[in-house]
């Protein structure tokens, strides 16, 4: 998102009183690498957690030394200063079940005046770069502008968490959820990618700040995406997604085209149910076909149709549902380009917000000319 993590929850080792330090040190020397974390986090603060003393962290350091030739002493020094962040754990927890999803409420958070104004200004000062990215990668400027706007309001909100703290917390102290083991494996991979990237770039890892999930820069790339898909689009010899708007623009376009974006293909078309007596199993199967375009218009006709005569008949679509709380659900037909955006964030709401924000900014920019 990957060795499976220890099945037992990892927790911090509490600080010892000064009278017990000597005994504690002797015990630690005796067990050596058998040190592990207690079974449950008990409202720990950053001062309570000593990640370097955790067996899981020691194993991770050994793996980084063996697989990537990291210096063990340097990594030990890093994890000795790395902090557990309780707010990261709280922020990563899934939303409580039961509250209905509401597309209109979600959209209003992103397609709003301040973000639109900032998007117009961003487009104006980067018009040439956006044109170059569109020419090179085939991704329209409005999609790039929409995505960066949704992610960080054009650099206004890139995150203030130390990435090493956030990723270590999630890699070793992930909250209890059904997907805990898979998520810990994912964040351990991202932690290793962060360490590799800072070593390659000669950057102090403690100076790298991002979101609570470890996403970085204007485009909020995870470290693995940064290493694999980020590009030096301003040609200054380095990649800087934090301060270079050009690098962010080029990197977003490169990411999307690598994940299936097709030049000239539309994004999505509105749709409506073909009748009130729809086969619910058939509808559910179409809605759960995955993040891909799998059906022709003819195959979808028993379920939905689109009033848009511009919808091409020679391509495939995926059926999208945008739930509106207690109000009727909106249905759309998404193309491969819609689903390329979902590879950035696996959410229909997210992808449609990127599209809508970009379109609104494009219209606002034209009106201001």
- What proportions of the chain, in percent to the nearest 5, are helix, strand and coil? 50, 10, 40
Average the pLDDT over 163-178 and give the result: 97
Q: Which residue has the higher pLDDT, 294 or 277?
A: 294
Give the global pTM. 0.87
Fold of 102-158+240-263+339-369: Lysozyme (1.10.530)
What residue spans define the domains of the chain?
Answer: 24-84+161-200, 102-158+240-263+339-369, 268-334
Residue 282 confidence (pLDDT) above 60:
yes
User: pLDDT of 216-247, one tens digit each?
Assistant: 999 999 999 999 999 999 999 999 999 999 99
Closest by alpha carbon to 14, among 46, 58, 59, 57?
46
Q: What pLDDT does residue 44 have?
A: 57
Please say if 56 is a catalytic residue: no
Grade residue 99 by pLDDT with cuts at 50, 70 and 90.
confident
Q: How far apart are CA 267 and CA 146, in angstroms?
A: 13
Average the pLDDT over 259-263 and give the result: 98
Residue 42 confidence (pLDDT) above 70:
no
Fold of 24-84+161-200: Helicase, Ruva Protein; domain 3 (1.10.8)
CATH topology of 24-84+161-200 equal to that of 102-158+240-263+339-369? no
In contact, 166 and 213? CB cutoff 8 Å: yes
Residue 94 confidence (pLDDT) above 90:
no
Closest by alpha carbon to 156, among 198, 110, 217?
217
CA dihedral 305, 307, 308, 311 (to 10 degrees): 20
In contact, 235 and 215? CB cutoff 8 Å: no
Q: What pLDDT does residue 191 have?
A: 98
Q: How far apart are CA 65 and CA 60, in angstroms?
A: 9
Q: How far apart are CA 140 and CA 349, in angstroms?
A: 20
Strand partners for 322 = 330
Q: Which residues contact 305 (CB under 8 A, 6 or more apart)?
A: 271, 272, 274, 297
Question: How far does Cα 246 stand from its chain's mean position?
Answer: 20
Residue 23 confidence (pLDDT) above 70:
no
Grade residue 215 by pLDDT with cuts at 50, 70 and 90.
very high
Please identify which of the residues 134, 142, 151, 190 carries the catalytic annotation: 151
Grade residue 11 by pLDDT with cuts at 50, 70 and 90.
very low
Residue 24 confidence (pLDDT) above 60:
no
């Amino acid at each position: 998102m990957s060795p499976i993590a220890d099945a037992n929850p990892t927790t911090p080792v509490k600080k010892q009183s000064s009278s017990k330090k000597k005994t504690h040190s002797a015990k630690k020397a005796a067990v050596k690498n058998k040190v592990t974390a207690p079974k449950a986090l008990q409202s720990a603060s950053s001062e309570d957690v000593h990640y370097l003393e955790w067996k899981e962290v020691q194993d991770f350091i050994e793996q980084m030394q063996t697989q990537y030739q990291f210096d063990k002493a340097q990594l030990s020094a890093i994890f000795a200063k790395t902090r557990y962040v309780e707010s990261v754990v709280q922020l990563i927890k899934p939303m409580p079940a039961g509250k209905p999803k509401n597309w209109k409420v979600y959209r209003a958070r992103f397609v709003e005046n301040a973000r639109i104004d900032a998007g117009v200004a961003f487009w104006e000062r980067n018009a040439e770069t956006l044109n170059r990215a569109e020419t090179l990668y085939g991704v329209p400027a409005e999609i790039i502008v929409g995505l960066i706007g949704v992610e960080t309001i054009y650099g206004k909100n890139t995150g203030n968490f130390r990435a090493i703290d956030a990723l270590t917390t999630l890699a070793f102290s992930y909250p209890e959820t059904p997907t805990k083991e898979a998520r810990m494996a994912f964040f351990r991979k991202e932690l290793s990618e962060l360490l590799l990237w800072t070593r390659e770039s000669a950057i102090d890892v403690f100076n790298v700040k991002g979101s609570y999930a470890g996403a970085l820069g204007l485009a909020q790339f995870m470290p693995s995406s940064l290493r694999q898909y980020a590009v030096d689009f301003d040609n200054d010899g380095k990649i800087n997604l934090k301060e270079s708007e050009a690098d962010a623009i080029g990197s977003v376009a490169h990411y999307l085209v690598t994940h299936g974006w097709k030049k000239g293909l539309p994004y999505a078309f509105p749709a409506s149910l073909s009748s009130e007596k729809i086969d619910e199993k058939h509808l559910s199967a179409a809605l759960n076909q995955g993040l891909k375009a799998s059906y022709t218009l003819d195959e979808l006709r028993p379920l939905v149709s689109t009033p848009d005569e511009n919808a091409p008949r020679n391509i495939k679509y995926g059926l999208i549902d945008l739930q509106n709380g207690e109000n009727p659900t909106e249905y759309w037909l998404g193309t491969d380009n819609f689903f390329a955006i979902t590879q950035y964030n696996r959410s229909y709401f997210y992808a449609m917000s990127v599209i809508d924000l970009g379109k609104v900014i494009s219209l606002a920019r034209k009106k201001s000319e």
